[in-house]
Amino acid sequence: MLANRFVALVLWCAIANPTVVFAAASVHEFTLDNGMKVLVREDHRAPVVVSQVWYKVGSSYEPSSLTGISHLLEHLMFKGTPDAPGGEFSRLIAANGGDENAFTSRDYTAYFQTLEKERLELSFRLEADRMRHLLLKPEDIAKEAHVVAEERRLRTEDQPEALTHERFQAAAYVTSPYRNPIIGWMQDIQSISPDDLKRWYQQWYAPNNATLVVVGDVDPIQVRELAEKHFGPLPPSDLQPPKSAAEIPQLGERRITVKTPAEVPYVIMGYKAPTLKTATEEWEPYALDVLDGILDGGNSGRISRNLIRGSQVAAAAGTGYSPTDRLEGLFVLAGNPGPEHGSAELEQALRVEVAKLREALISPEELSRVVAQVIAADVYQQDSLFYQGMRLGILETVGLGWRKLDDYVQRIQAVTPEQVREVARKYLIDDQLTVAMLEPLPLEGRRAAMPGAAMGHAIR
């Protein structure tokens, strides 16, 4: 996920399920006087520390004409302050043996550095500085809009499946901001003004809209002192919560086709689904999480067993569900048909798998397999400092609170076969479904009308 080292990574897809469980005592939590929350988790395996600053802002906070502004601002956060001008931030971190990056998602924007533990203060000093003193020079903004346009071409325009996924999201939601891509539509990326960015920065970049997460070989008391020293003096903002933008109820199945030069067809299907944040029944997201594991938890999941190895209707396929989304989410199934099969057959086969979950109870063996995988993954995920911080940061930033981690394994263990059937019956129904099909055009042929591509020449 974070394979490349370039700044400003965008998280495109739902994040994997949170399965780290810490003992409550192992996370130290405190709040600075200006409202900035700080979470510290000690991990003394290596003399290293990860420091992450999480802001409660992302593409789901954006009005429709400013899509991509959170991500563009994330890029500009590396462009300097009066005290650390130009690329000084990155230069200092690099020269101190550090690794840094940032990422924007629908519900959060986060910045992180990994450093040898003695150098944590450098991270705090620089992050505190750019939380309130970003320069946002017009010439930097114009140049960075080009970079982001290239990023969009790289990750979406020229990637048939990513392009299909983007159009799928736009079809699945009518009023929810989840309909817009995190990176923004090309015309918005190119028309966001310096004033827009200044307003966005002033509106959201404040200590009382941020969470500092520190994981590593540190002493929580020293972390607190350093945080108070560097972040403590920053003034809080008068925060206006984002306008609610609930999705209107879906009144029947939706279908779209995406025609673009490609070789391999692709089907993506999504059912509206509650998340930990939106669910009225608290157990439902856990049951959906288990259902996700039943279908696609490793090679023994039903998709691999029945569709990839069994009927071979799929060359590749999988499911996705993100219980930590801030707004109503989707339970997604996607795949490429096998060579002897078409997209319609794959869609049908995926629908059959969903129907089975509505009709019959999962077996105890399947359930215990999913539980075993959750228990093991809970241990494995503690191998990564970064990932430990990520789990804390997401939960805190979407408003669930990091303590949701405490009972995650127990909540999964408490899910019954009946509950899995119940969520399938309630949510995985045709009227709540959106289907998108990638219909490949010949690669040597012309592309269907692509406003983004055409706009590419109009940036400057």
Partner 1 sequence: MPNRSSIFKTLLALVLLLVSGIAAAVPEIQHWRTANGVPVYFIPARELPMVDAQILFNAGSARDGDKPGLARLTNALLEEGAGAWSADDIADRLDRVGAQFSASSARDSAVISLRSLTDPRYLQPAVETVARLLKKPTFAPDVIDRVRQQMLTVLRERAQSPGAIAQDAFYQALYGEHPYGSPPEGATASLEALTQADIQNFHQRHYTAANARVALVGDLDRSAAEQLANALVSGLPAGEPIPPPPPVPEITSSQTVRLAHPSTQSHILIGQTGVSRADPDYYALYLGNHVLGGNGLVSQLSQEIREKRGLAYGAYSAFIPMRQTGPFLINLQTRNDQVDTALEVAQATLRQFTEQGPGEQALEEARQNITGGFALDLAGNRKLANYLGLIAFYHLPLDYLQNFVSLMNNISLEQVKDAWQRHIQPDRLITVVVGGGENAPDSSAQSLKKGS
Q: Does 439 bind partner 1 (CB under 8 A)?
A: no
Q: Which positions from 88 through 117 interact with partner 1, judged by CB under 8 A? A: 88, 90-92, 94-100, 114-116
Could you give the string, one character per residue 148-177, with x where binding to partner 1 holds by CB under 8 A and - elsewhere? xxxx-xx--xxxx-----------------
Among 235, 241, 249, 339, binds partner 1 (CB under 8 A): 339
Please report, as residue ranges, which positions from 115 to 144 form the binding site for partner 1 (by CB under 8 A).
Answer: 115-116, 118-119, 121-122, 125, 142-144
Q: How many CA atoms lie within 13 A of 205 on its CB side?
A: 23
Report yes or no: 82 and 57 within 8 Å, Cβ to Cβ.
Answer: no
Q: Token digits for 116?
A: 């040898």
Q: Which secondary structure element, helix H or strand E, spans residue 173, and what is its range?
A: none
- Alpha-carbon distance of 111 to 125, in angstroms, equals 13
Tell me the window of 51-59, 351-359, 364-372, 393-401 that interacts with partner 1 (CB under 8 A). 364-372
* DSSP string of 309-334, one letter each residue: IIS--EEEEEEEE-TT-SS-EEEEEE
Stretch near partner 1 under the rule CB under 8 A, chosen from 187-195, 247-255, 326-334, 443-451: 443-451
> Residue 385 interacts with partner 1 (CB under 8 A)?
yes
Closer Cβ to partner 1, 159 or 208, answer by number: 159
- 46-54, 59-67, 272-280, 410-418 -> range binding partner 1 (CB under 8 A): 46-54
Closest CA to 369 of 451, 445, 277, 294: 294
The reply on whether position 351 binds partner 1 by CB under 8 A is no
First-residue to last-residue Cα distance in the chain: 32
The verdict on whether 74 is a catalytic residue reads yes
Q: Establish if 238 lies at the interface with partner 1 (CB under 8 A).
A: no
334: contact with partner 1 by CB under 8 A: no
Closer Cβ to partner 1, 387 or 427, answer by number: 387
Q: What part of residues 309-328 is at the interface with partner 1 (CB under 8 A)? A: 309, 312, 315-316
Cβ closest to partner 1, residue 225 vs residue 430? 225
Decide: is 365 part of the binding site for partner 1 (CB under 8 A). yes
CB of 18 to partner 1, least distance (A): 16
Q: How many residues bind partner 1 (CB under 8 A)?
A: 94
Residues 6+ apart with CB under 8 A from 403: 24
Helix locations, 120-257, DSSP H: 120-132, 138-152, 160-172, 186-191, 194-204, 220-230
DSSP 305: I
Catalytic residue chosen out of the listed positions 29, 42, 62, 74: 74
Closest-CA residue to 256 (of 137, 433, 27): 433
Contacts of residue 332, Cβ cutoff 8 Å, sequence gap at least 6: 14, 268, 269, 270, 319, 320, 321
Closest among 204, 218, 232 to 51, alpha carbons compared = 218
Is position 18 an interface residue for partner 1 (rule: CB under 8 A)?
no
**Which of 28, 132, 137, 146 contacts partner 1 by CB under 8 A?**
146
**Interacting residue with partner 1 among 32, 377, 392, 394 (CB under 8 A):** 377
221: amino acid identity, one letter: I
Binding flag, residue 348, partner 1 (CB under 8 A): no
Q: Which of 225, 372, 410, 431 binds partner 1 (CB under 8 A)?
A: 372
Pairing of strands 254-261, 433-441: parallel
Active site residues: 74
